């Protein structure tokens, strides 16, 4: 070997040092892979209904989707239970069949739904006992992933995700990503405000329901992303799941306060005689009889403090559990109906402290629904209660309804928008397009919701009325033949194979 081909001893020593440094700070500094992860993180196969929310009397289609999930345990809420699986609500809602498999084998195992929390988009499944025995005989005893404490997360922390995204059959690891935001935002699935974390994880469709880990513990559940962005993905902090899992069978205990606030700016603060350094937000609207109203809040109140946390002019508080500023609703989100709450306001220029228990809220004017839509077919006309699901089904005409009603508040408890979704050909109207709109009145009665519409028509029938005029937005009039409605509807039911002429099981709030 020539002298020029030899590696000098000093260079060789430097190379060895670099390799050792890489091993110590690269490998040792990275999060070590759990060799059993492929039996802890599961692929979820769902066959589910795809209802026609704008024409809910039609038989639904069925669709097959895939998601992710993982074994976990919670000895406090589910003592002694094995085979518990955490995943997303949006994946398993209206499921007819759910099976899971893992990254080691292709066998599929039957699971049941233990509970679904649609508001915060998570669901708890449980493997059937017989399948659990088979699973452990082939894969060894189930070792659930340990749930961590998401309140300890901070912007800049490193996390990693596991799941089964589209593009392959095997388990996939998202490279270690960085948490870029922790904030209260609206969940796409439920349209409700909850805490979420944004992380630069490389996750795609199919990752939903998979675990997000920090130092081997679950700190979140993957659930949504931004398609137009690169590596912009969100996960549900695991403490949200732990808090709400305790009321899976009593979800009416989750506060659903509806209100409208306005951030304060200098001229507005001056109008209310507030100092430049005074904080607070102006409460513009609460539903009469709704949660904030029954607690004691009123339109025009300036909310300055909640449970000891001072609110700034943008609705944020410095929230000690998270070590950062968040939207003040996070305080309410960590409570259940009946828990103590204290809010300080300025009312008519005077400070006021309101103390009491968290009160139950009311549904939206146009809610997101997670069950069969409210509908009623009468006199050859299909009436439907407007929901965000219905708007999505309606396409372009749905966008018009979204712009008109989606952000509006009810003017009274349980008020909803009732629309005419279909006028059957048997009614005898050739061009019905202009009548497919909001029902304002039946006779002289203002319609509150579909239950009220039904009750009003039944009252007219009991009185022996022969016909009635319906007023439709904006200024259309539409007659119903009450005397012959029963015969017409019987013929429609037989002709079109409709099983139920109104929501089976009764209307829901």
**Domain ranges, ordered by start, for the chain:** 1-30, 37-254, 255-357, 375-496
pLDDT score recorded for residue 271: 94
- CATH superfamily of the 255-357 domain: PDZ domain (2.30.42.10)
Q: Is the pLDDT of residue 30 over 60?
A: no
Task: Give the pLDDT mean for 238-248.
Answer: 96
Listed residue (368, 306, 374) closest to 341, CA to CA: 306
Whether the predicted pLDDT of 23 surpasses 70: no
Mean pLDDT across 437-452: 97
> What pLDDT does 176 receive?
78
pLDDT the model gives residue 1: 41
Alpha carbon distances (Å) from 107 to 101, 167, 484: 6, 19, 57
DSSP string, 351-372: EEEEEEEPPP----SS---SSP
Give the CA distances from residue 335 to residues 194, 222, 294, 352, in Å, rounded to whole numbers and listed in that order.
12, 23, 16, 22
**Assigned token pair, 99:** 């099976």
Mean pLDDT to the nearest integer, 390-410: 93
Instruction: State the Cα–Cα distance between residues 221 and 92, nearest whole angstrom.
Output: 15
Element (H, E) at 67: strand 61-71
Best CA proximity match to 167, nearest among 236, 66, 238: 66
Is residue 228 predicted with pLDDT exceeding 80? Answer: no
Q: In angstroms, rounded to a whole number, what is the distance separating the alpha carbons of residues 161 and 68? A: 11
Residue 5: the pLDDT is: 44
**Percent of the chain residues topping a pLDDT of 70:** 92
Residue 2: pLDDT band with limits 50, 70, 90: very low
Q: Higher model confidence: residue 170 or residue 203?
A: 170
Q: Kindly state the helix (H) or strand (E) to which residue 391 belongs, with its residue range.
A: helix 388-394
Summarised one tens digit per residue, pLDDT across range 347-386 is 999 999 999 999 999 999 999 999 999 999 999 999 999 9
- Whether 89 and 122 have beta carbons less than 8 Å apart is answered as yes
CATH number of the 37-254 domain? 2.40.10.120
Q: What is the dihedral of CA 444, 411, 195, 399, to 10 degrees?
A: 50
Closest CA to 345 of 255, 270, 410, 261: 261
pTM for this one? Answer: 0.88
Q: What is the pLDDT of residue 434?
A: 85
Whether 222 shows a pLDDT value over 70: the answer reads yes
pLDDT at 393 over 80: yes
Closest among 386, 389, 444, 447 to 417, alpha carbons compared: 386
* Confidence at 231, pLDDT banded by 50, 70, 90: low
Cα dihedral value 64, 65, 66, 72, nearest 10: -100
Say how far apart CA 396 and CA 357 lie, in whole Å. Answer: 43
Go through 116-134 and write b for each residue having 16 or more CB atoms within 10 A of its CB, e for each that does not. Answer: bbbbbbbbbbbbeeebbee
Using CB atoms within 10 A of its CB, is residue 446 exposed (0-12), middle (13-18) or buried (19+)?
middle
What's the CATH fold of domain 375-496? N-terminal domain of MutM-like DNA repair proteins (3.20.190)
Q: Is 494 helix (H, G, I), strand (E, B) or coil?
A: helix
pLDDT at 17 over 80: no
- The pLDDT assigned to 16 comes to 43
Q: What's the Rg (C-alpha) of the chain? A: 28
- Rounded percentage of the chain residues whose pLDDT exceeds 90: 81
Confidence of residue 230 (pLDDT cuts 50, 70, 90): low
**Which residues have C-beta within 8 Å of that of residue 479, sequence separation ≥ 6?**
467, 468, 469, 470
Say which residue the tokens 């795609």 belong to: 204
Other CB atoms within a 10 A radius of the CB of residue 391 amount to: 22
- Work out the end-to-end distance of the chain between its first and last CA atoms, rounded to an integer number of angstroms: 87
| Tens of pLDDT, residues 80-130 | 889 999 999 999 999 999 999 998 888 999 999 999 999 999 999 999 999
Question: For residues 94 and 127, what is the distance between their CA atoms, to the nearest angstrom?
Answer: 18
Say which residue, 261 or 396, is predicted with more confidence.
261
Residues 420-439: tens digit of each pLDDT: 999 999 999 988 888 999 99
Name 217's Cβ contacts closer than 8 Å, sequence gap at least 6.
145, 146, 147, 148
The mean pLDDT value of the chain amounts to 90
**pLDDT band, residue 173 (cuts 50/70/90):** confident
For residue 19, the model assigns a pLDDT of 41
Average pLDDT of 251-274? Answer: 94
The per-residue pLDDT for 11 is: 52
H-helix or E-strand containing 65?
A: strand 61-71
């Amino acid at each position: 070997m020539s002298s020029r081909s030899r590696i000098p001893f000093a260079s060789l020593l430097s190379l060895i040092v670099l390799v050792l440094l890489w091993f110590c700070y690269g490998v040792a500094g990275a999060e070590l892979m759990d060799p059993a992860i492929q039996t802890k993180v599961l692929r979820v196969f769902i066959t589910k209904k795809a209802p026609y929310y704008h024409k809910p009397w039609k038989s639904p289609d069925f669709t097959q989707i895939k998601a992710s999930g993982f074994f976990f345990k919670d000895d406090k809420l589910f003592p002694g239970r094995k085979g518990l699986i955490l995943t997303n609500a949006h994946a398993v809602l209206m499921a007819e069949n759910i099976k899971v498999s893992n990254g080691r084998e292709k066998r599929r195992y039957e699971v049941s739904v233990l509970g679904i929390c649609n508001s915060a988009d998570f669901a708890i499944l449980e493997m059937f006992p017989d399948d659990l025995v088979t699973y452990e005989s082939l894969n060894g005893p189930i070792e659930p992933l340990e749930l961590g404490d998401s309140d300890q997360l901070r912007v800049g922390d490193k996390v990693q995700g596991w799941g089964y995204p589209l593009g392959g059959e095997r388990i996939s690891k998202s490279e270690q990503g960085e948490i870029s935001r922790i904030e209260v935002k609206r969940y796409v699935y439920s349209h409700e405000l909850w805490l979420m974390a944004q992380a630069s994880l490389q996750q795609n469709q199919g990752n939903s329901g998979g675990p997000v880990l920090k130092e081997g513990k679950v700190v979140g559940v993957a659930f949504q992303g931004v398609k137009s962005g690169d590596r912009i993905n969100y996960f549900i902090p695991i403490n949200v799941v732990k808090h709400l899992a305790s009321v899976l069978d009593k979800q009416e205990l989750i506060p659903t306060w509806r209100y409208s606030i306005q951030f304060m700016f200098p001229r507005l603060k001056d109008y209310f005689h507030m100092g430049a350094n005074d904080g607070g937000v102006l409460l513009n609207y609460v539903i009469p009889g709704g949660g904030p109203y029954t607690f004691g809040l009123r339109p025009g109140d300036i909310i300055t403090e909640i449970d000891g946390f001072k609110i700034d002019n943008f609705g944020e508080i410095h929230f000690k559990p998270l070590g950062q500023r968040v939207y003040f609703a996070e305080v309410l989100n960590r409570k259940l109906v009946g828990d103590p709450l204290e809010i300080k306001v300025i009312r008519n220029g005077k400070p006021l402290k309101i103390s009491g228990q968290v009160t139950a809220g009311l549904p939206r004017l146009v809610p997101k629904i997670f069950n069969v839509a409210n509908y009623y077919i009468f006199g050859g006309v299909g009436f439907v209660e407007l929901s965000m699901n219905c708007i999505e089904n309606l396409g372009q005409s749905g966008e018009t309804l979204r712009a008109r009603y989606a952000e509006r508040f009810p003017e009274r408890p349980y008020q909803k928008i009732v629309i005419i979704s279909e006028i059957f050909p048997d009614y005898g109207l050739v061009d019905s397009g202009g009548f497919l709109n909001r029902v304002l009145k039946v006779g002289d009665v203002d319609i509150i919701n579909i239950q009220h519409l039904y009750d009003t028509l039944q009252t007219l029938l009991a009185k022996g009325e022969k016909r009635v005029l319906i007023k439709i937005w904006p200024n259309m009039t539409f007659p119903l033949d009450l005397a012959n409605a029963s015969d017409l509807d019987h013929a429609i039911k037989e002709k079109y194979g409709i099983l139920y002429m109104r929501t089976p099981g009764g209307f829901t709030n």
